[in-house]
Structure 1
């Protein structure tokens, strides 16, 4: 039996594909894996955040490939995998991070918003995982990290498709983990709690909900994006080789109450 080494957390020589990796929490995930040596393929629907992300990755000595693509398009998954292989020759980790949310009252919820959220948060995740898994099976190793949410566990009475999609993420994580474990491929999910980001600014400024959320977190504060980075590195690295089918909440204990 080999001894444990801190090198188990290294991603040097590994290629990580991340959707939505140039903005929001995705940019922090990109920085996290690049800090421990990974080369990164960032898939975005726009060029937003590319320069800043490139600078961060290259400052850590890594290479970065940007692919502008709407991952809900029928041919997107195959194209992303093909471009990654053309550039790097292998795919070691896929982080399915891209997502969106739409909020409406029940009786007013438009079908169009339901379809958009499910297409991005669940269908695109499935198709890209499917294509990446083919490569990983051939390689004999790989990791897929899906991004869940507190709504993977809770209701969310105004965000129906988001809640459905994030529950689905846990289900797909388990199903893929079971199917791919014999091929030395681990599939897990990371479920961020309430994190201090521009996206949650309105919620933090809500005089009622902000207090309710804060008082519900045993750690006593909203999370900072940097507090997700260690968990992401763990799930992407050899340190988690015997961990699969797990959804890891990083929530300051929010789900305990």
Structure 2
């Protein structure tokens, strides 16, 4: 009985930002649990490494390329995905621009907000419509430690990820009673391309590690368990949460 709670066999999951890093790990975890995958990224093409990995698990994988900074492209993607009526939507695509707040350009601000927040609202709205029609579905956002904190030199990213926490709760408040679970995962400091600059900064990396009770940077596959949980029947009474997967950072 317990194992069946986490079984995703027969479901279809959309994972944005699926080409690498956290998104790829999430897609692979969902496939391990039995889900077929639609992967979306700005430069994802058929035959990619993530597709090979998913298909080796015996699951199907459809690759879709979409520039999340392009509002028309995001709207078209939303319509395309709604027609497929996925059971699970993982809103993971994101970008980051690093610059002190005093010199952070408006162009960088607008791009980060569009990719990390506005596009995710639009996709949730479009895919959520099909979920509302059948009275079931799981939506998972990728939040951040900066959904709780301000960060350093990333004002646009901090604003967007704070917005994701609020958006998670807003959708959940409206849709929980209609069979749709909307939640978010807040990764801690995960060793991916997005954190390469921090890892390369010896002083900053050391200060980060000193604060993490687990004593190490996270790995992308550390997100697997939380992803499967929030996508499965095991979380049917979990609504509107932002779940940290951070090695204990926020508890320090």
With the length of structure 2 as denominator, give the TM-score of the two structures. Answer: 0.95
Question: Where does 1:46-61 land on structure 2 (aligned, <5 Å)?
Answer: 46-47=43-44, 50-61=47-58
Q: Could you tell which deviates more after superposition, 44-53 or 14-23?
A: 44-53
| Deviation of 1:202 (Å) | 3.0
Question: Where does 1:44-123 land on structure 2 (aligned, <5 Å)?
Answer: 44-47=41-44, 50-84=47-81, 89-123=84-118
Q: Could you tell which deviates more after superposition, 108-117 or 42-51?
A: 42-51
Structure 2 residue corresponding to 1:242, chosen from 237, 243, 247: 237
Matched, 1:150 2:145: yes
Residue correspondences, number: 252
Matched, 1:25 2:18: no
Aligned 8 A contact 1:84 1:91 in 2? yes
Counterparts of 1:50 and 1:193, CA distance in 2: 30
| Deviation of 1:239 (Å) | 0.8
Matched, 1:34 2:31: yes
Question: Where does 1:147-186 land on structure 2 (aligned, <5 Å)?
Answer: 147-186=142-181
| Deviation of 1:50 (Å) | 5.0
Q: SS where residue 239 of structure 1 aligns? A: helix
| Deviation of 1:73 (Å) | 3.0
Question: Where does 1:196-235 land on structure 2 (aligned, <5 Å)?
Answer: 196-235=191-230
| Deviation of 1:198 (Å) | 3.4
Name the counterpart of 2:6. 9
Aligned 8 A contact 1:16 1:95 in 2? yes
Counterparts of 1:197 and 1:48, CA distance in 2: 21
Counterparts of 2:36 and 2:26, CA distance in 1: 12
Aligned 8 A contact 1:104 1:159 in 2? yes
With the length of structure 1 as denominator, give the TM-score of the two structures. Answer: 0.93
CA-to-aligned-CA distance 1:127-156 (integer Å, 9 cap, x gap): 000001100000110010000111111112
Aligned 8 A contact 2:82 2:126 in 1? no
Name the counterpart of 2:251. 256
Aligned 8 A contact 1:23 1:48 in 2? no
Counterparts of 1:78 and 1:30, CA distance in 2: 22
Counterparts of 1:103 and 1:116, CA distance in 2: 12
**CA-based RMSD:** 1.6
Counterparts of 2:193 and 2:99, CA distance in 1: 20
